Each structure stands twice: as structure tokens, then as C-alpha cells.
Amino acid sequence: MSIVKPLLVSMLLIASPALAASEADFKAAYAAAEAANKEAGSLRNQWTTTATTLAAAKKAADSGDFETAVAQAKEAEALAKASIYQATSEKERWKDMEIR
Amino acid sequence: MKPRFAIHLALAMFALSLVAMPLFTITARAADKIDPEADKKAFQKFFMEKFPKLKPEDFVNGPYSMNEDLHKQWEEKEQFPPYEFSLEAGKEMFSRPFKNGKSYADCFPNQGIGIRQNYPYFDEKEGKVITLELALNRCREANGEAPFSYVKDEMAALTAYMAFTSRGKPFDIKIPNDPRALEAYQKGKEYFYTRRGQLNFSCATCHVQSPGERIRAEVLAPALGILNAMPIYRSEWSGMGTTSRRFTTCNSQIRGVPLTPQDDEYRNLEYYLSYVSNGMPISGPGARP
Amino acid sequence: MASTIRVRATANGDITEVQALIQHPMDSGFVKDAKGELIPPHFIQELTFEHNGKPVFVADWGAAVSKDPYVKFAFKGGKKGDDLKISWVDNKGATDTTTAKIQ
């Protein structure tokens, strides 16, 4: 009983493709992040940290570590989306700070 | 049971009534007319009231007017200012003719002497704001010379000399009664108050909300008169920097990717900041920590 | 070539106050350029102020002094009209010297 359970668990882990990131996963995640960052660029509001995170994602992918690469790409996408949200909401919110 | 139900009902009705209220104030704000004169009055009043002990001309000294110890050190340094080398280089460069025999004096009113306080101005033919740095590079290109980098070295030296010839003259920025000029001004104002970068700061976050306070080890300057000392020798840079340099580095410091120097946003920003400081004397070139 | 040394010396009774601004890159040797390569060290190693042939201020500098150094100090025994000689030597063997009159 004690051997079977961990054996079953490890078999499940190996059999599950969702846990091991592939190059395809990375490419998709990176493309999504790049697209979001490009949109932020058209709003003239890119963050420096988005660029560095994208670079880190690419670097990890180049060395074959797709797990990290996907995680970084998703982080970069989140940063880019936040910068888009910032630019959009600030279109009105800037008035809050204005000296009147 | 019963009293609680009653309270809930009351609260729900109250909430509904709030939602049903006309969104009066928000629409009124959105329909504001562009009024630079009113903005300038409010802007200057804000800072004068915040720092009642300062004379109007003190504001152009930025952090040195915010901190007594810094002021003393600065006064001593002004006897032998660090921008002196750049200023001398700028004077020499300004008077040296281009390869085609013309010189900078041919591109500017009054031979380029004592005119810095009129920049930026709105060019009605082009429909855009023209800054001094932009005008200098256009002068060069019109005379077959390669443009300089906007952020330091030669551009800083040239603008240092031109600012020096205008020392003491009050900023005299004009906004013609042209909807495009008013829009450029308004866009500049918007940029100033818009938060950006991962740190979510706007120019106002530091220079309106916190002048005289510290950000890490630096004492923050008030936004009033903040461009009057440009270009500056900044100890942090161990060298000279122009308005373009300051705008781009401020962006990256708050983790926003800087735009290209002299992009429309920066030109408009300089237009706005200079206009609301009208009346304040030019003190450039300057020194800063 | 213009001198790299700007100096102003003012006598106030027995005390002479000296200010000098020296143009020099003062590269520490620890800073990298845009290409990622180290900028070689290039800094003033010795700075001397002499009054009537006698050194009144000698500085042994290293990499920690910033670009375009500014020096201010005071000494006794000087009077208006006296000569003040300033000279420096850097780690590459380059030198510059200038003489100013105490005002």
C-alpha cells in the first residue's frame, strides 16, 4: 500500500502533459505578452519591467527551461496588461491630481 | 428578525437613491474649457501658499529653496559652478560658423541672444510646439550639419549659453488663440498629471504633492519654475543634462519606457510647464544634486 | 589649450580663502562604457597649491574623487598681490599648472 500510492502519483505526474511546459506553450505565452506590450506601446505607456521580464522569458527558453520561460512570459503579459489598464484609466483619473 | 430586515431595506433604498442621483459633477468636469491663464494662476497660487516664506524668484532654484543646508552649499558652489566648462564650450560653439559660412545667429531672432525665455513657442504654420533644443537641431540640419543628441554634451552646452544670455529674464511663453495650440497645452498638462510607469507616479506625484520632501536621498523640487534652471549640471550625472535628458530619465526612474526626446508628448509637456511658470526668471544653466 | 584650472584666492586679513575648479574626467576605472567595457582609470593623483614657493595644500587623490573636482580651503600668511601656484599630476603622467594672484 505504501509503495503503490507514491508510484501511482508519480505515474500520474509523468503522464500529465499540463505540468511540463513545452516550447509551443512558451511561444504562445510569449506571443501573447508581446502583443499586450505592443498595445501598451501604442498607448505610449510601456513599463521597463515588462521589457526585462520578456527578455528573461526569452533567455530561459533559449536555454531550454520552458517552465521558467512560460512563467516569465505570463508575468510579462500581466505587467503589460497592467500598463494598458493604467494608461486607459489615467485618461480620466489624471484630473484627480490637477491643481485647480 | 424584523428590525434587521427593516435596516436592510432602508440601506437598499438608500443605495438605490444614490445610484439614481444625476452624475452631475463628473460630466461638468469633462466639459471644462481650456483656460491656460486660469490654470497658471491656480498653479502659482498653490505653490506660493504652500511655501509662504519663499519669494517668487526662489522657486527657480528647486531643491535649494526647499532645504537650508542645501541652499548654503549651493550658494558656495555658485561662486565656482560646475556648469562653467559647459557654458564656455557653448559660447565658443555658438559663435563658430557652420561649414557653409552661416551660424546659429542666423536661425534665431536677435542673433539668438537673450531669447531663451520665449521657448517653447507654438509654430502656427507647422501646428506644433517648437522647443529650443528642437530649434537648434533644425538650425543645424538646415545648414548641412548633423544634429546633436538631445540629452547632453553639445546640446547642453549650446542651451547653457543661450540660457545664460537670458538670465534674470522672466519666462514669457505665448499660447496663441489657436485651437491646436490650446490642445498642445492641454495635452502637456494631461501628461504632467498622468500616472505612468510601474511605480505609478505622475510628474505631479513628486513635484506637486511632495516638493521639499525626500525621495530616497534627494530633496524634491516644486513644479513651479522647474525648467527655469535648464540645462543643469547634475552631480548624479557627473555632467550636464538638458530638459530632454530630465524628461527621459524621470520616465525610466519610475519604470516607464521613455519616449524619444522631442516626441510630441515631451514638447507639449515642456510647453505646459514653461507657460505655468511665466513670470519666473530664467536661472540657467543650473546645478543640481 | 586653455588651462584646466580655475582658481580664485581672496585675502581677508590674515586668512586667504582659495577656491579651485579643475577640469578632469577623474575616471575611477570601475565604470563601464555603453559597450560594457571598463573605462580605464584616469585621475589626478597629486594636487599642490604653493604660496611663495611653499606648499600650503597638497592632496593625494585616488579613484574616489569625482569628475571636475572642486576644492576649497583657507590658509594663513598670504596677502593681496601674492602669487598662488596650482599644479596637478595624474596617473597617466599628464600635468597642468597655473598661477593666480591673491586678491
- Report the pLDDT value the prediction gives residue B91, as an integer from 0 to 100: 97
Helix (H), strand (E) at residue C87: strand C83-90
What is the DSSP track for A62-83? HTT-HHHHHHHHHHHHHHHHHH
With b for 16 or more beta-carbon neighbours within 10 A and e for fewer, the C18-54 pattern comes to: bbbbbbbebbbeeeeeeeeeeeebbbbeebebbbeee
Catalytic residue (one of B107, B203, B206, B250): B250
Active site residue B206: no
CB within 8 Å: C20 and B80: yes
Angle between helices A66-93 and A23-42 (to 10 degrees): 20
pLDDT at B81 over 50: yes
User: In the structure grid, which three cell numbers stand for residue B65, read together?
Assistant: 529653496
Q: Are B59 and B207 in contact (CB under 8 A)?
A: no
Give the mean model confidence (pLDDT) for residues C81-90.
Answer: 96
Whether pLDDT at B20 is above 50: no
Chain B residue at shortest CA distance from C7: B80
Lowest mean pLDDT among B74-88, B123-137, C71-85: B74-88
Which residues of chain C make contact with B235, given a CB cutoff of 8 A? Answer: 66
- Asked if residue B285 lies in contact with residue B163, where contact means CB atoms within 8 angstroms, the answer is yes
The DSSP letter of residue B282 is P
Angstroms from C76 CA to nearest CA on chain B: 21
Do A32 and A73 contact (CB within 8 A), yes or no? yes
- Which residue segment(s) compose the domain that A34 sits in? 20-93
Which tens digit of pLDDT belongs to each residue from A19-66?
A: 678 999 999 999 999 999 999 999 999 999 999 999 999 999 999 999
Q: How confident is the model at residue C80 (pLDDT cuts 50, 70, 90)?
A: very high
Instruction: Inform me whether the C-beta atom of residue B28 falls under 8 Å from chain A C-beta atoms.
Output: no
Q: Is the pLDDT of residue B79 over 80?
A: yes
Residue A11: per-residue pLDDT: 55
Contact B259 A51 (CB under 8 A): no
Task: Give the mean model confidence (pLDDT) for residues A4-29.
Answer: 69
What is the number of domains present in chain B? 1
Instruction: Tell me the DSSP string of B5-50.
Output: HHHHHHHHHHHHHHHHS--HHHHHHHTPPP-HHHHHHHHHHHHHHH
Q: B80, C68: Cβ pair inside 8 Å? A: no
C1-28: per-residue pLDDT in tens?
468 999 999 999 999 999 999 999 999 9
| Eight-class DSSP state of B281 | B
Question: Which chain C residues touch B76 with a CB distance below 8 Å?
Answer: 72
Domain presence at residue B212: yes
Residue B78 confidence class, pLDDT cut points 50, 70, 90: confident
Q: What pLDDT, on a 0 to 100 scale, did the predictor assign at position B2?
A: 58
Whether residue B3 has pLDDT greater than 80:
no
Q: How many CB pairs under 8 A join A and B?
A: 57
Q: Do A99 and B196 touch (CB under 8 A)?
A: no
Packing angle between helix B179-193 and helix B264-275, nearest 10 degrees?
A: 90
3-state secondary structure of A2: coil
Environment class of residue C5 by beta-carbon count within 10 Å: exposed (0-12), middle (13-18) or buried (19+)? buried
- Look at the block and give the residue holding cell 525621495: B215
* Cβ contact B76–C72 (<8 Å): yes
Q: Is residue A46 part of a domain?
A: yes
At B26, the pLDDT band (50, 70, 90 cuts) reads very low
pLDDT value at residue A18: 54
* Interface contact C25, partner B, CB < 8 A: no
- B and C: touch, per 3+ CB pairs < 8 A? yes
Position B27 scores a pLDDT of 44
β-bridge pairing B232-234 and B286-288: parallel
**pLDDT at residue number B25:** 45
How far is residue B150's CA from residue B112's CA, in Å, rounded to a whole number? Answer: 18
- Interval B189-215 mean pLDDT: 97
Q: For residue B76, what pLDDT is reported?
A: 84
Q: Which chains does chain A touch, 3 or more C-beta pairs < 8 A? A: B
8 A C-beta contact, residue B289 and residue B235: yes
Domain C5-101 fold is Immunoglobulin-like (2.60.40)
Q: Any CB–CB contact under 8 A between A39 and chain B?
A: no
Question: Is the bond preceding residue C41 a cis peptide, omega within 30 degrees?
Answer: no
Among B78, B79, B153, B233, the strongest candidate for a mutation testing the C interface, having the largest count of C CBs within 10 A, is B79
- Burial of B44 from C-beta contacts in 10 A (0-12 / 13-18 / 19+): buried
List the single residue in A82, A87, A99 with the smallest CB-CB distance to B43.
A99
The number of residues making up chain C comes to: 103
> What is residue A52's predicted lDDT score, i.e. its pLDDT?
97
Structural domain includes residue B20:
no
Look-up: residue for cell 597617466?
Answer: C92
Q: How confident is the model at residue B14, as a pLDDT?
A: 53
Nearest residue on chain A to B32, judged by CA atoms? Answer: A95
Gap between the terminal Cα atoms of chain C: 25
Is A11 within a domain?
A: no
CA distance C74 to C15: 6
Q: How far apart are CA B267 and CA B184, in angstroms?
A: 9
Out of B46, B196, B256, closest to residue A99 by CB: B46
Count the neighbouring beta carbons within 10 Å of the beta carbon of residue A79: 25
Average pLDDT, chain B: 91
CB contact under 8 A, B82 and C72: no
User: Each residue of A43-61: b (16+ CB within 10 Å) or e?
Assistant: ebbbbbbbbebbebbbebb
**Residue B57's pLDDT is what?**
94
Residue range(s) defining the domain that contains residue B63:
37-288
What's chain A's length in residues? 100
- Its pTM stands at 0.85
Q: Does A1 touch chain B (CB under 8 A)?
A: no
Q: Which domain CATH number covers B75?
A: 1.10.760.10
C22-49 average pLDDT score: 94
**In the prediction, which pLDDT does B80 show?**
83
What was the ipTM of the complex prediction?
Answer: 0.83
Closest CB from A49, A83, A97 relative to B193:
A97
Please report whether residue A52 resides in a domain. Answer: yes
